[in-house]
Each structure stands twice: as C-alpha cells, then as structure tokens.
Amino acid sequence: GLSPGAYPVQAGLSANETLAKANFTVKGATLSLSPNKGIPGTTVTVTGHRFPANTPGWVWFDTNGNYERDSGEFYKKVTANGYGKFIVSLTIPSVAAGVYYIRAELSSVMASGSINILPAPSLSLNLTTGPPGTIITVNGKNFKPWTTGKIWFDTNGNEKKDAKDPAKSLKTDGFGKFRAALAVPKGISPGAYAIYADIPAWGVPEAWTDFFVTRGDAGNGLSAGNLQVVSVIPPDGAEKVQRYPTLKVVFASRLVKGPEFGNIVLSDEDGNPVIIKASLSGKTLKVRPGGILKGEKTYVLLIPTEAVLSQTNNGLEEEFILTFTTKK
C-alpha cells in the first residue's frame, strides 16, 4: 500500500494530453484520546482509525518517550475491525506532571496521541496529630479551579461522607487551592484516621491524608509547642449567623498580643475588608465588626500566625481561618 501523503492524479484523453489534474491525499492511521488530559488514575478512551483491517497489536503509555513498548509500561492488546478501527480504555499510570504520548502499533503501522498529565490533587495539614477537639487547618492544591466540594474527617474508615463525619463545604480559588478548618470530633478513639476531599463533589474523593488522634483533650493545656485552637463561635462553616456577631476563638493557653495582632482581618466573599475591633480575654480572642454585616454573605476571619501568642511566646503553626454565612 501507499505511504501516507499527497499524490498527483491526472486525467486526459491520451497519454500525451492532460485535461485536469489534482492531488489525492492518502491518510495514515490516527489515534484520538478522550480526555486528552488528566491526573494519574484517570481512564482514557483511545480510539484508533485507519489501521490495517482485522490486525492485532498494542496500545501503550509511552512513559519514557522512546516509541517502544518497554517492560513495565502499561499496555492493552487490541485488534482492529474490518474498517481498521478499535476502541480501548487505558489508565494513566503514576507519573510526574507533563506531556506524554499514548501510542498504538498494529502490523508495523504506528500512531500516537499526546496527553497532558496534570499534578494530582493533594492535601496538607498544619497538624498531623492531636487529641479530640483539635482544630486542623486543611490546605488543598491542584484541584479544579473555582469548584465547590467538601472535605471531611472519616470517623469509620469507609471513605464516604456519613452524617456523623465532621465536614466542611468549600470552593477552590482560581489556582485550584483552598484552605479550611476542620475539627477532630470529640469522643473519638485514639488511632489513625483519614481526611478526604471530594472536589468536585461527585462522591469519589480526589485526595486524602492521614491524621493521628492522640489521647487527651485539646483544651486541657497539656499540648506543647505551637498555640492550639480549642473552639470557635460560631462554628466554622456556620450558616444563618446574626449580622452583628461577636466572633470568639478559644485557645489552649492564655493569650498575649503578638506583632501581627493588627493584621487580623475580616472580609466578605469578594475580598472586601470589614472594620473590626479585636480584643483578648484570658484564652479567648474576640472579634466584633464595626457595623452590621450584609445579609446572606459569606465572611472569612483570618488570624495571622503571630497575631496572638501564648505566654511562652508561641504562635500558631499556620494562619487560622474561620468562615461563616450571615442570615437574610
């Protein structure tokens, strides 16, 4: 058969006479990928066209880009039908982010399709151990931008969000990042647990990380090191909060003002700052807006790491964030 390419075609009444001429293009085998980007673990549908009819071969993920199906590279066996077409599913292996190629070869006829491997979504915590009642700051990155979803503390290890699991609804920013607070449930037994993120909220977690629950109480003052948050009023993620609230953040230690006390910020969902008055009373930080807040708006209280300090001069491990939504 002819190799792919353009070939001239001429028509005439005799060998020495040309009345018309044109180019005829012989198309080669092609691969189409759906989707053509994704994170490791994504299933890709690979469709081949114009391969030798009724011919077996291979489809593989070319991890090292050498055009050869090497040992260890994920592959599937395929056979083209009578029209030279096949469809097969291939799973993206665990590889670093970047552009890779999925290739097919049937009877020495090869075609390739490029696929963009995105960084896998991931979670990190400001604390990885703590007693019941500990408030954890959960940081997420490489999720789908501007997407709503939820995180939760999996109390029974079934990888699903159950009614009793502490959870937080959230929305990623334009870079696919988020930061949210989650409380370790009171009365839970010591041991290893998972925190999951389902963003977008399709029922299947995109990322998870471990947290180890220790014995004791987050409010008993026994924890050492960085300043620990014990409780917040209103609870993080609360809805229908009164429009002139007193926000309270209770810590495990008595407080003194830190060098960033003046940088405590309350802002609405559009990033507009609100005038506030912040004060300390024993172990409690109180923040009150300078006026009535807007109705049915989400607000974010941000406390810098050195806004408040313990009497042993310890600050927070990370910025603390509290979100709530006002009533109508």
The predicted-structure confidence for 267-317, as pLDDT tens digits, reads as follows 988 888 999 999 999 999 999 999 999 999 999 999 999 999 887 788 898
Q: What tokens were used for 313?
A: 């001069």
Which amino acid, one-letter code, is at 202?
A: W
**Res. 144: pLDDT tops 70:** yes
Question: What's the topology of domain 122-149+173-187+215-326?
Answer: Immunoglobulin-like (2.60.40)
Q: Is 48 or 222 the better-scoring residue by pLDDT? A: 48
CATH 2.60.40.230 in the chain: give the residue spans.
Answer: 30-117
Q: Is 116 or 16 the better-scoring residue by pLDDT? A: 116
CA 174 – CA 139 distance, rounded (Å): 15
Q: How confident is the model at residue 198 (pLDDT cuts 50, 70, 90)?
A: very high
State what percent of residues in the chain have pLDDT above 90.
50
Q: How confident is the model at residue 247 (pLDDT cuts 50, 70, 90)?
A: very high
Query: Residue 13: its pLDDT value, please?
Result: 64
Q: How confident is the model at residue 219 (pLDDT cuts 50, 70, 90)?
A: very low
Q: What tokens were used for 271?
A: 């990033």
Query: Residue 269: its pLDDT value, please?
Result: 82
Pick from 2-6, 16-20, 69-73 the range whose average pLDDT is largest. 69-73
**Res. 113: pLDDT tops 90:** yes
State what percent of residues in the chain have pLDDT above 70.
90
The pTM of the full predicted model, rounded to 2 decimals, is: 0.51
Q: Is 5 or 113 the better-scoring residue by pLDDT? A: 113
Reading phi first (left if > 0) and then psi (alpha if -120 to 50, else beta), residue 145 is in beta
Question: What's the topology of domain 30-117?
Answer: Immunoglobulin-like (2.60.40)
Angle subtended at Cα 316 by Cα 314 and Cα 322, rounded to the nearest 5 degrees? 150
CATH 2.60.40.1220 in the chain: give the residue spans.
Answer: 122-149+173-187+215-326
**Res. 223: pLDDT tops 50:** no
**Res. 11: pLDDT tops 80:** no
Q: Is 230 or 57 the better-scoring residue by pLDDT? A: 57
SS3 sequence of the chain:
CCCCEEEEEEECCECCECCEEEEEEECCCEEEEECCEECCCCEEEEEEECCCCCCEEEEEEECCCCCCCCCCCCEEEEECCCCCCEEEEEECCCCCCEEEEEEEEECCEEEEEEEEECCCCEEEECCCEECCCCEEEEEEECCCCCCEEEEEEECCCCCCCCCCCCEEEEECCCCCCEEEEEECCCCCCCEEEEEEEECCCCCCCCEEEEEEECCCCCCCCCCCCCCCEEEEECCCCEEEECCCCCEEEEECCCEEECCCHHHCEEEECCCCEECEEEEEECCEEEEEECCCCCCCCEEEEEECCCCEEECCCCCCCCCEEEEEEECC
Query: Residue 220: its pLDDT value, please?
Result: 38
Query: Residue 224: its pLDDT value, please?
Result: 46
Backbone angles phi, psi at 59, to 5 degrees: -125, 130
**Res. 2: pLDDT tops 60:** no
Query: Residue 263: its pLDDT value, please?
Result: 92
Query: Residue 82: its pLDDT value, please?
Result: 96
Query: Residue 42: its pLDDT value, please?
Result: 85
Average pLDDT over residues 157-173: 90
Nearest to 58 by CA among 74, 72, 45: 74
